[in-house]
Structure 1
Amino acid sequence: MDVFHVTDKDGNKITNEKVIDYIQQSLGTNACLLPSLRRTVGVKAASKHTAIELTGTDRPGLLSEVFAVLTDLKCNVVGAEVWTHNMRVASVVYVTDDSTGAPVDNPERLSMIKVQLCNVLKGDNDKRVAKTVVSTGVTHTERRLHQMMFADRDYERVHNGLLESRDDKFRPLVTLQNCVEKGYSVINIKSKDRSKLLFDTVCTLTDMQYVVFHGTVDSDGPDAFQEYYIRHMDGCPVNSEAERQRIIHCLEAAIERRVSEGLRLELCSGDRTGFLSDVTRIFRENGLSVTRAEVSTRADKAVGVFYVTDAAGNPVHAKTIEAVRGEIGQTILQVKESYSKSPSEETGGRFSFGNILKSTSERFLYNLGLTKSLP
């Protein structure tokens, strides 16, 4: 039995029948099970576009280079989502042929796209070997991004002998201990509450081949608390210190990936081939680094959200932003406050699982003998 108490993104009761129907359909028996990650750069044909998956070492201007290559190869970018974490980047880019609007499915052309994008991703100093694989199947963008970054081992915090520096206020507190008498491992997580927090943690545990037998989630003001009773798929609890540390680091990474640092820029303009290439080129030429992005085309409009810092990861000067807006268009690019939220959190039709009440689940665990007392 699963019990969820949910609100919309503004913390209000959900009354929109379309949203309720969408939740019911998504949780129904026909929901798709997604394939696991088996690629670093993959290209696959879908019904209306071709999805290109990219992972590599993050650096200023990388997104601009990717979009420029796709434009040169006569591909129109109709959507993209980009995550960066721990000096790594993962992106799913959706493209069509710029002359026909159809998916790119010619094998020779797909091979050329993969080769050129791999060269961009490797750069001059990337010691990791890029791989390219062509695959087909259904994809869920955010789930794929988690799988891609997990496979890329973005949870490892040491790069080139240097420990990644990050503000501790963004880092979740994750603990894990074994409940010997019940044969479970118990995970406790404290972090800032936000949309899709439950999705990020549970998907990561699933991708790591752990089964969640019981769990509680509670939001208290700006903070969220999660507790999970897990076992291996073979029924065994966590059995080594190395495994315990790996789980902690992977869950920290899963939560941090969606935290967006930097200035939030919102884009809305008429769509055309090469538009996103031009926008990200202007970012690069003005010394901006994109830490997270989500862009799409709706009818004849290109809309998106970018989180940007300077090349060193510091806040961007106001004069720089005004120069960028002057080149792109004052009405096309709007400046919002700095956020630690996901770009998709602000779009309509989305809802938050962050406000799940704890009391029902705690009583359920107490009745099963998995907790010693009720609060």
Structure 2
Amino acid sequence: MDCWSSSFAVVDEFEKLVLRMNPPRVTVDNTSNRKATLIKVDSANKRGSLLELVQVLNDLDLIIRRAYISSDGEWFMDVFHVTDQNGNKLSEDDVSERIQQSLGPRARSFRSLRRSVGVQAALEHTTIELTGRDRPGLLSEVFAVLSDLKCNVMGAEVWTHNSRMASVVYITSEATGLPIDDPDTLAKIKRLLLYVLKGDRDKRSANTAVSVDSTHKERRLHQMMYADRDYDMNYAESGSASGRSKPLVTVESCTDKGYTVVNLRCPDRPKLLFDAVCTLTDMQYVVYHATVIAESPEAYQEYYIRHVDGNPISSEAERQRVINCLEAAIKRRTSEVKTREPLLFLF
């Protein structure tokens, strides 16, 4: 092990020790606000804590009406005003426990990046990841290949944006009902699906990979489309959805404090905060302070960020890239096609 790897390992172990000594403290307050439940979280700080926390709130199907975030230093303190899907305060007793478990030292990290076409064996199914040029009939061709290979499609989630498509598909063996882990079968699935994805018009080459990671599927879809550069309007084709109204995103310098300030305004919708934080995290930025207000049809978000090396944004090209990536992240989900139940396809 070289010196750099050794130093990184020591820092990582120290971070784990700090988290064990200072587990997250979660307070659920149903009395301070008439319209919303306040969830207050404070803990030792580590990179990715904000994203993990927002993901937990999303997985609990909570709507974030307001948020006040501060993580400048070794500690983070966040306050979220949340309701259920019907706009009511929370009545569940396990919210605090579930958040603490998700942020504790044994929680799984979401810090992984996989490639364009991957196959991952899980406990209940094998997960196939796909990215490519969006076109009519693409999914029918994908499912036809899987059917010919005697695969059961258990479910799928698909996002499309700027003429690109990203999808995760969950399959099992038709013969056994179990995940597919045979290397020859996986290699054949990847080879045939890569052929389908490329078609005769895809301008960009695709890669295949077998992954062992277990990233949350919505985080993974963001990563896949970001890696596929769906934010780059140079790749947009005529007739694509790129002409839709854009969210208002500005990126400015806060010279006296050494931050870059990102402001975002757009129509409010569920999971908007997650999409923005996910994008900033994957672009290697750290959110030090943030304010979120989403109590009307329009949502407002303000972030004080720096790059992971501690520096603010320093070039016009980088500033424009952040704007483009946040716009893409917001628009991906508005054009998504989701299927959460088991699927039945007739070919």
Residue 341 of structure 2 aligns to a residue in which SS?
strand
1:3 aligns with 2:79: yes
Residue 69 of structure 1 aligns to a residue in which SS?
helix
1:96 aligns with 2:172: yes
The CA distance in 2 between the partners of 1:111 and 1:35, in whole Å, is: 26
State the match for 1:13 in structure 2: 89
Residue 117 of structure 1 aligns to a residue in which SS?
helix
State the match for 1:255 in structure 2: 330
State the match for 2:163 in structure 1: 87
The CA distance in 2 between the partners of 1:188 and 1:251, in whole Å, is: 10
| Percent of paired sites with the same residue | 61
The CA distance in 2 between the partners of 1:164 and 1:244, in whole Å, is: 25
1:195 aligns with 2:240: no
1:217 aligns with 2:262: no
The CA distance in 2 between the partners of 1:234 and 1:145, in whole Å, is: 26
1:236 aligns with 2:236: no
When normalised by structure 2's length, the TM-score is 0.74
Contact 2:163–2:236 at 8 Å: present in 1 too? no
Residue 67 of structure 1 aligns to a residue in which SS?
helix
Residue 158 of structure 1 aligns to a residue in which SS?
helix
Residue 148 of structure 1 aligns to a residue in which SS?
helix
The CA distance in 2 between the partners of 1:294 and 1:143, in whole Å, is: 17
Contact 1:14–1:20 at 8 Å: present in 2 too? no
1:295 aligns with 2:340: yes
Contact 2:165–2:225 at 8 Å: present in 1 too? yes
Any unmatched runs of 5+ in structure 2?
1-76
Contact 2:134–2:165 at 8 Å: present in 1 too? yes
> Structure 1 residue 296: deviation in Å?
2.6
Which of 93, 101, 113 pairs up with 1:37? 113
CA offset digits 1:61-80 (Å, max 9, x no partner): 11111111111100001111
Contact 2:153–2:344 at 8 Å: present in 1 too? no
State the match for 2:204 in structure 1: 128
Q: What letter matches 1:79 in structure 2?
A: G
Counterparts of residues 1-375 of structure 1 (less than 5 Å): 1-18=77-94, 21-159=97-235, 162=238, 164-166=240-242, 168-169=244-245, 171-260=246-335, 292-297=337-342, 302=343
> Structure 1 residue 178: deviation in Å?
0.4
- What is the aligned residue count? 271
| C-alpha distance 216-145 of structure 1, shift in aligned 2 (>3 A) | same
Any unmatched runs of 5+ in structure 1?
261-290, 305-326, 328-375
> Structure 1 residue 20: deviation in Å?
5.4
Contact 1:157–1:164 at 8 Å: present in 2 too? no
Q: What letter matches 1:241 in structure 2?
A: E
The CA distance in 1 between the partners of 2:119 and 2:244, in whole Å, is: 37
The CA distance in 2 between the partners of 1:60 and 1:168, in whole Å, is: 20
Contact 1:172–1:190 at 8 Å: present in 2 too? yes
Residue 91 of structure 1 aligns to a residue in which SS?
strand
The CA distance in 2 between the partners of 1:227 and 1:61, in whole Å, is: 40
> Structure 1 residue 24: deviation in Å?
4.1
Residue 200 of structure 1 aligns to a residue in which SS?
helix
When normalised by structure 1's length, the TM-score is 0.68
Q: What letter matches 1:6 in structure 2?
A: V
> Structure 1 residue 234: deviation in Å?
1.2
The CA distance in 1 between the partners of 2:239 and 2:155, in whole Å, is: 34
The CA distance in 1 between the partners of 2:203 and 2:115, in whole Å, is: 17
The CA distance in 2 between the partners of 1:229 and 1:35, in whole Å, is: 21
> Structure 1 residue 25: deviation in Å?
3.1
RMSD: 2.2
